[in-house]
């Protein structure tokens, strides 16, 4: 009886070839820019106590109520696969004694998990880049993060098709006054709202502003804007952020309807948006979350951060050139095959990317070398070994010369 092969779980992916090349290209660019900006690399667990995410994301959000992969382990603890990075980093900040190092500039990347309907560029196991600044209340921290994201998009050569949308959520006093005005406005039009927005009115009224339901748009578009409720301090903070971006030549546009529903968000909210991925066009999103660490039981601590989907960025870039080896070893005969193991080891230790086919005659091995994109073929036979040399063939020009085995690694490393 034939055994049925298990299928890949829906919403996950196996990556090879160009898909993996795109993924690695994005991560490499992120790591390069991270170092330029002085962000420390950090790693956090892939699962946390469920309470970490329930407190940080809000019990009533869709992520917590519908999308988290939560389970009880054998010890009876309630755990959740991380749906985002910020909560875990904030938890680590409190539990690992990182407060002594503020301000902290941190960056990480890796897999996240959400049970949502798979769609273009979105998966149930997906991957994100993440950058955070913890312990800095200055608007310069917001500017730094936005410049980081902008430079990443430039390095990936996709910035021309992406727009930075920017808004302010004000300070706590601003937010409270604006929230009350929004509730009054939406209550006056309750009969015109969708069922979801009526539900949000009691729990999270700011989310009505970005509702996609056509029934909500006329009411949301007529809602009072935050600018009328900004305190002087909040207005100055936003002005400092925009002035910093202008000085750094980072283009932005104001989106007064860009919001973050949870109460711990303050001041800057932003999204880098493209029209090349359909309706779900955000490729980088973030904001200032000055109240989150306090919500997790810590002291009031300013913080700002962003996250970006690796798969979505990978869909926007040009296909990177596939990785190529520099040298292919072509041994002829059993004695040469044994000697080739030492030759290829020496080349690799010298930093030369080298490979060797394990079977086939000389013609087939040369064909494989050419198909692999090798620049040189190093041919070893009994005659070459007797003379202590290798025949080095330039596969582009066809030129061939003999190089002493003792000088082979140095010669090819310098080529």
Q: What are phi and psi of 378, to 5 degrees?
A: -105, 110
Whether residue 149 is found in the same domain as residue 243: yes
- 83-98 tens-digit pLDDT: 999 999 999 999 999 9
Three-state DSSP at 308 gives strand
Q: Would you say residue 116 has pLDDT above 90?
A: no
Q: Given 283, 316, 349, which residue is the final one in a domain?
A: 316
Q: Given 294, 316, 338, which residue is the final one in a domain?
A: 316
Whether residue 307 is found in the same domain as residue 345: no
Please state, as a whole number, how many other Cβ atoms lie within 10 Å of the Cβ of residue 382. Answer: 13
Q: Would you say residue 57 has pLDDT above 80?
A: no
CATH number reported for the structural domain that contains residue 73 in this entry? 3.30.930.10
Whether residue 266 is found in the same domain as residue 369: no
- 301-346 tens-digit pLDDT: 999 999 999 999 999 999 998 888 999 999 999 999 999 999 999 9
User: What is the pLDDT, as a whole number, of residue 202?
Assistant: 80
Whether residue 166 is found in the same domain as residue 112: yes
Whether residue 283 is found in the same domain as residue 353: no
Poorest-confidence range of 63-77, 143-157, 304-318?
A: 63-77
Whether residue 236 is found in the same domain as residue 115: yes
Could you tell me if residue 102 is inside a domain?
yes
Domain count, the chain: 2
pLDDT above 70 covers a percentage of the chain that reads 96
Whether residue 95 is found in the same domain as residue 47: yes
The residues facing 330 across adjacent strands are 379
Poorest-confidence range of 23-37, 151-165, 185-199, 227-241?
A: 185-199
Whether residue 58 is found in the same domain as residue 130: yes
Q: What are phi and psi of 295, to 5 degrees?
A: -65, -25
Of 4, 280, 270, which Cα lies nearest the Cα of 147?
270
CA-CA distance, 411 to 415, in Å (whole number)? 6
User: What is the pLDDT, as a whole number, of residue 372?
Assistant: 86
Residue for token digits 């962000």? 39
DSSP 159-190: GGGEEEEEEE---HHHHHHHHHHHHHHHHTTG
User: What is the pLDDT, as a whole number, of residue 205?
Assistant: 86
Whether residue 269 is found in the same domain as residue 400: no
- The enclosing H or E element of 30 equals helix 18-36
User: What is the pLDDT, as a whole number, of residue 279?
Assistant: 62
* pTM for the model: 0.89
Q: Would you say residue 368 has pLDDT above 70?
A: yes
Whether residue 62 is found in the same domain as residue 132: yes
Whether residue 286 is found in the same domain as residue 155: yes
Model confidence band, residue 63 (pLDDT cutoffs 50, 70, 90): low
Could you tell me if residue 193 is inside a domain?
no
**Tokens found for residue 135:** 């312990």
Q: What is the mean pLDDT of the chain?
A: 91
Q: Would you say residue 351 has pLDDT above 90?
A: yes
Whether residue 305 is found in the same domain as residue 373: no
Q: Would you say residue 59 has pLDDT above 60?
A: no
Q: Would you say residue 120 has pLDDT above 90?
A: no
User: 23 lies in which domain range?
Assistant: 18-171+231-316
- 227-236 tens-digit pLDDT: 999 999 999 9
């Amino acid at each position: 009886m034939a055994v049925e092969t298990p299928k890949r779980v829906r919403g996950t992916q196996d990556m090879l070839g160009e898909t993996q090349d795109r993924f690695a290209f994005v991560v490499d660019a992120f790591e390069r820019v991270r170092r330029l900006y002085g962000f420390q690399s950090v790693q956090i667990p892939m699962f946390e106590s469920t309470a970490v995410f329930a407190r940080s994301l809000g019990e009533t959000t869709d992520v917590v109520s519908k999308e988290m992969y939560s389970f009880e382990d054998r010890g009876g603890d309630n755990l959740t696969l991380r749906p985002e990075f910020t909560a875990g980093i904030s938890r680590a900040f409190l539990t690992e004694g990182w407060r002594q190092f503020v301000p902290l500039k941190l960056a990480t990347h890796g897999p996240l998990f959400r049970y949502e309907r798979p769609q273009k560029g979105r998966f149930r196991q997906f991957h994100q880049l993440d950058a955070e600044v913890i312990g800095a209340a200055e608007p310069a921290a917001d500017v730094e993060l936005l410049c980081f994201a902008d430079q990443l998009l430039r390095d990936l050569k996709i910035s021309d098709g992406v727009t930075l949308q920017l808004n302010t959520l004000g300070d706590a006093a601003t937010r409270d006054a604006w929230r009350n005005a929004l509730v009054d406005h939406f209550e006056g039009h309750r009969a015109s709202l969708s069922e979801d927005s009526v539900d949000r009115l009691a729990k999270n009224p700011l989310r009505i502003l970005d509702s996609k339901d056509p029934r909500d748009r006329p009411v949301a578009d007529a809602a009072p804007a935050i600018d009328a409720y900004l305190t002087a301090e909040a207005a100055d903070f936003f002005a400092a952020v925009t002035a910093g971006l202008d000085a750094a030549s980072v283009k932005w546009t104001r989106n007064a309807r860009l919001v973050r529903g949870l109460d711990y968000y303050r001041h800057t909210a932003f999204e880098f948006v493209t029209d090349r991925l359909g309706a779900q066009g955000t490729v980088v999103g973030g904001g200032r979350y000055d109240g989150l660490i306090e919500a997790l039981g810590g002291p009031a601590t300013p913080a700002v951060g962003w996250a970006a989907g690796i798969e979505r960025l990978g869909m926007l870039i040009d296909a990177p050139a596939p990785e190529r080896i520099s040298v292919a070893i072509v041994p002829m005969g059993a004695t040469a095959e044994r000697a080739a193991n030492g030759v290829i080891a020496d080349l690799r230790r010298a930093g030369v990317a080298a490979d060797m086919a394990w079977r086939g005659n000389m013609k087939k091995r040369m064909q494989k070398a050419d198909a692999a994109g090798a620049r040189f073929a190093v041919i070893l036979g009994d005659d070459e070994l007797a003379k202590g040399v290798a025949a080095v063939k330039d596969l582009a020009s066809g030129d061939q010369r003999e190089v002493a085995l003792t000088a082979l690694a140095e010669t090819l490393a310098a080529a």
